[in-house]
Structure formats: C-alpha cells, structure tokens
Chains A and B, each alone.
Chain A
C-alpha cells in the first residue's frame, strides 16, 4: 500500500541553529520535501529567533537544542510562557545530538512538540513534521506548564487504574 506524502508547499518554517551547515542541511531537506525557499527563515540563536517571530509567523519551528545565548529549550519555554505571543502554540521540533532521557524530558517540560535525535535523516525529520501536521495534540495549561499534552493518546473510555501524580495526592505532595 502506498503511503502518501504531505504537501508542504504552503507551510512556513523557521530554522534555528547556530551552525550554518546544520541550517543548510535542514533547509535542503525542507526544500526537497516541497517547501519553497520563500517559506523558510533562519536564525542563529533562540534570541534572534524570538526577535524574528515579531514579524515572521512560521507554521513550524525547527530548533537546535545547543546554542549560545538562548538555547532551544529556553527558546521554547520563553515562547510558551508568553500568553500574548501569537506563536505561542506553534509546533516546535527540536534537534539534538543529546538523546539522554533527561534532555528529552527537559524539552518536553519546556513545551517542545517533537524531538529529533541527530544525526538527522530525511525520513526522521519528515516523520516528525508529519506527526505535528497530521496528529496535532491538544495543549495543556497549568500554573506551571503550557505546551502540547505530554500524553499523546488520551483514551476517554479508559477504565484502568489512574497513576498520574495529580490522581495520587500522596505522590504529588510527598511529605
């Protein structure tokens, strides 16, 4: 059975990485996937990206984790925590050679939508883009978090034991 590709021509992207060659790789892949050059902007840091977002409204940001000034996680947190920012709910795809669970967890807790472990491949990047396009998640707002729901699949008919910390006061508030 043929798996059909998504038509990315109308989407606008922001590519954020301090390494010029890395930005070039991502932009090459995007262009080959059908994204016109006019629909791509780039920034060398999270700080520059935040400035760019004042005028440019991308549909998706592809952001490196390790950058000087403002890294990818702080960029995501800054964006998600600004209630007035028009791009607050923009999908953020993070790229990182660090695949440790604590890094992935930090990214998730900062509101990152998807995480791609470097070295990237054409298919690994496409899969994550397709995920944010075809299977968007609901957003969750709590006093301490704003971002995509960390639970990808919510089964409303779930009847099993409830194990989330909020369901277990003894665990949520350890004495």
Chain B
C-alpha cells in the first residue's frame, strides 16, 4: 500500500476534458477579461506614467525604458492571476456550491486526479494569458531578446506554484468573506513586489520581506529573461518556484484527502 492508494486512478485526462468542454461552451468572456487587465496596466502605467519616469535601471545595471521595465513584471502577474483565478475562486465555487468534486469523487477518479486536472486547467489559463501578453510585448517592440520566448514556460512554472498553493489554501475557506483574504494578499503583493518600481526604494527590512514573497521572484526572473541578462539570482528564482510547486502539490493532496476522504 502506497501513499497514493485510493487517491489516484491515472485519469487526469477526464478532468481536463471536462474543463475544456466548459471553456468551449461558456467561459470565453471571463477568460478574455483576465487577459486585458495587465494590458491596461501596461498601457496606462507604461506609456502614461512612463513618459514622466524616463529611463530606469534593469537587471545587471542595464538601462531600460519604463515600459520595458514593467512589462515582464506584468507578465509574471498575469500568469499569477490566471492561475489564482482558476485555483481559488473557481475551486471554491466547485467545492462548496457546485459540489462538482463530490460528484467526481463518487466515480473511479481519486482526489489526486481531480487536483492534478484542476491545477492543469489553471496552468492552461496562465499559459493563455502569458502567450497573449508576450504577443502584446512583441507588437510594442518591448521584447528585445530571444530569451523572451522562455518567458512562456517560466510563466507556466510561476502559474504552477501559485495554482498549487492557491488551491491548498482555498481548501480551508468556507465563506466568501474568507475568500476576500486572497485579494487582500494579492493586491499589495502586486503593487510592492518591484512590479512598478525597483525594490531599492524600500528600507532594507522591507526589502527582505518582499524578497521572501513569490511574486518578487517571478517578476525579477521575467525581467532578466526579457533582456537576456542573468545572474546568480536566476537560479534562486527558479528554485523558489520549483520548491513552491512541489510543496503546493503535496499540500493539495493532503488537503484533498482530509476534505474528501473524511
């Protein structure tokens, strides 16, 4: 008997099929709206505010326009938002109101099939947003290095980390008020994770705090990729999301077992 006995039936595919069927029939408006949010930020902040800001210093001291500075950060945020939307609000609704998971788990599916399928759907949304945003960056001439293409798989990694942790955390929430906590955490993280201005404006203690948060690592990583300028921190950023993803998935499995195998 292994840790996974009774938890996994090797049929993640059926969960994905269901997800795509739903997207194909009705979810387009919601799907697209999440894509526009960072694009609007890019246009308003990048071009509006960017005119006042002028040049800023990017990774390894490379000078960048303000638009080019915030675009990769918005891409990281976009991947995060896509993953979080699917893994928190969608999961919350299906768990507490639609009772979809209860139905799925009365079939031969195990909790791990469901978790993996739902996380994969969240990644798919993250992937769509990342590709769309990268397209916008290309059109605006902000993506200057071929490394920028690597931003897509990295966006997936970021999405995986957030989706897994988001889903695990959501498993504790039982009311809409508690769900609001997610926004209370995400919004300041978006504002202060060196997304819109460099981190060195803060006192050292605040910098350490921000550097412990996942989005900062995502933003820095994306920014390095956008111009192909890497340093020793690149590996740290990648490792951060690697660990976050592994812990998140493990956490999810434990929580699903607790919730559905009471």
A binds B: no
